[in-house]
Amino acid sequence: MATVGPDEDDAARAALARARRAGRAARAAPTTCPVIEAARYEAVAALGRQFAADIAPLLGRSRWWTAFEDWLHARRHACRHGVGAEPARASSQLDPVLPTGEFARADPELSRKLAAAGVAPDVAARSCAALATRSEELARGVRDVAARCAASGERGEVRLLTAGTGQAVDADADVDACARARADVVVACGAVALRCAATHWARLRWLFDRTAGPQAAADGSAERTFRAAAFCVLARYGALQGGHERAGGMQAAVPPQLLAELRSSLGVGAELFASPLNCLWPQFGSACADTDGAFGSAGSFFELAPDAGSFEVNPPFDDALIAHAERHMRACLEVAHARALPLSFCVVVPYRPATAGWVALTRSPFCTACVRLRSGEHSFTEGAQWLRPRMRPSPADSTLALLQTARASREWPFSEALRLRLIAAFAAPRDQSDGRPAPVEPSALHRARESGDDRRGPDGRKRSRTAPAEASRHGASDGGARGSASRAGGKGRGRFDPRRGAGRLRPHAAPQ
């Protein structure tokens, strides 16, 4: 499979080099291993069973795994980034998935859902506290496993099997045969066996080899290292979605055709809320640097400070996390603006005008465009796409917001024609088949598609940063005080120039 072409700019090379260094460091001195990740996956599954038994009946919901995944993401983020979370974040007691401490004991959103279901406040409080206590117990169990692995050097044997037969897979040719048959492979460690579409397994292999480089590929131990790393990624993201195969809504991705349009029209060169399992490009940021570094992740969005370039930002749809992401982007944009650098974020979030994060995002002084996407008329790729890689129409409205410095708005301007192309690229597909997609060569993922000479306004002139563009006149705005003002129209034609679109990622001193 082809790698990214040699015409990438110096900034992209620097960002990828940092990601490669993170991957090599993770393999040289791993902070996790298959045995630990298997224990964590089992712990989260056990916590999910308690949620199903104790809280799901109170909610009166059959799809309890969705509420459980929401709770996991909200409490995990609060444990790391809530007010007063600094001591816990600095402690080695913080689990990457299981919420612990005081921040796990009360979740406003779960309490709201319980109240809406008619549950008395004291009953809701006891239920949430019991869930947090159980999460703490399970996290201690995972820490005990990690301590034993550190003392003994145990990493566990990872076996690759074929779905349905349980037979071991010893060669890439067997995986290729699964891919042609659109079958799954199963990777197992101990009692934990995890499914993965063969096409996604092949993509993990490509990302791993690309990050490791040719020297590691020649190493006879590379296959064992890859399988261990792949198991850890599958177990970690399976745990993040609650250990339930039907969950994954928090990890849904924008459609590939939208990313292609963003790259062609707005120079987007990296996804900042992605994973090795759902990234389209090899330059990406993700939540789990310890498991994802081996596949090229640049690390957590909140620990990076992009200073130039154009990026796609599609965070989990948690209101507190979205508000935190907006503050972090604003800080980066203020620094870039002061230095007259082109920095642009294309942000996709739910349309929730009553929430602080949405209001801050759409009223930001850096917001140059805001597009409302109607429910049922746009789609996302399934969060657990390595299990069921298909598109699903969004059941709720979404917002696509463009945050840019003044220089970025001139470099990558917005126009009414672009608004229409973005809506078309986000449109729900006619075919909602559950079938596996055909394998995609990674080289094809980096080709910019042809676009017409239609990025200027209808009058053929550039739009200034302060002048309203056609998007607002045609009702493209999300509304709000800032939503209909300050659109940029602009220039740009033909094929995307990769020498201009990627950005620079520099480590941030500390999460904000």
Q: Are residues 142 and 202 in the same domain?
A: no
Instruction: With respect to residue 250, please indicate whether it lies within any of the assigned structural domains.
Output: no
In this prediction, residue 395 carries a pLDDT of 86
The answer on 416 and 378 residing in a single domain is: yes
On whether both 262 and 386 belong to a single domain, the answer is yes
Q: Is residue 278 part of a domain?
A: yes
Domain end, chosen from 214, 240, 266, is at: 240
The answer as to whether 455 is a domain residue is yes
Same domain, 289 and 343: yes
Q: Is residue 20 part of a domain?
A: no
d(CA 137, CA 434): 38
DSSP string, 41-78: HHHHHHHHHHHHHHTHHHHT-S-HHHHHHHHHHHHHHH
SS3 call for 117: coil
State mean pLDDT over 353-357: 94
Question: Whole-angstrom Cα distance, residue 91 to residue 131?
Answer: 22
Query: Mean pLDDT over all residues of the chain?
Result: 75
| Residues 462-496: tens digit of each pLDDT | 334 333 333 332 333 333 333 333 333 333 333 32
236 and 218 together in one domain: yes
Does the pLDDT of residue 456 top 70, yes or no?
no
Same-domain status, 214 and 114: no
Last residue of a domain, one of 130, 152, 174: 152
**Is the per-residue pLDDT at 436 higher than 70?**
no
Number of domains in the chain: 3
Burial class (CB in 10 A: 0-12, 13-18, 19+), 500: middle
Q: Do residues 69 and 218 share a domain?
A: no
pLDDT number for residue 24: 41
pLDDT one-digit tens code per residue, 216-265: 655 567 888 999 999 999 999 999 988 776 655 556 789 889 999 999 99
pLDDT tens digits for range 175-187: 555 555 457 888 9
**Residue at 438 is within a domain:** no
124 and 145 share a domain? yes
Over 60: is that where the pLDDT of 101 sits? yes
Say which range, 28-37, 401-410, 498-507, has the weakest mean pLDDT. 498-507
Q: pLDDT tens digits, residue range 126-159? A: 888 899 999 999 999 999 999 999 899 888 899 9
pLDDT of residue 174: 54
Q: Are residues 289 and 405 part of one domain?
A: yes
Q: How confident is the model at residue 312 (pLDDT cuts 50, 70, 90)?
A: very high
Strands annotated E in 163-242: 184-189, 192-197
Domain assignment present for 280: yes
Pairing type for strands 270-274 and 192-197 reads: unpaired
Residue that finishes a domain, picked among 189, 208, 240: 240
- For residues 264 and 413, membership in a common domain is answered with yes
Q: Is residue 2 part of a domain?
A: no
Domain assignment of residue 249, yes or no: no
Judgement on whether residues 200 and 260 belong to the same structural domain of the protein: no
pLDDT in tens, 39-92: 999 999 999 999 999 998 988 866 788 888 888 888 888 887 765 545 444 455
Same domain, 393 and 455: yes
Strands 184-189 and 192-197, sheet pairing = antiparallel
pLDDT of 332-343, one tens digit each? 999 999 999 999
What letter represents residue 262's amino acid? L
Task: Using DSSP bridges, classify how beta strands 343-350 and 398-404 pair: parallel, antiparallel or unpaired.
Answer: antiparallel
Residue 26 has pLDDT above 60, yes or no: no
Query: The domain containing residue 387 runs over which residues?
Result: 255-430+449-501
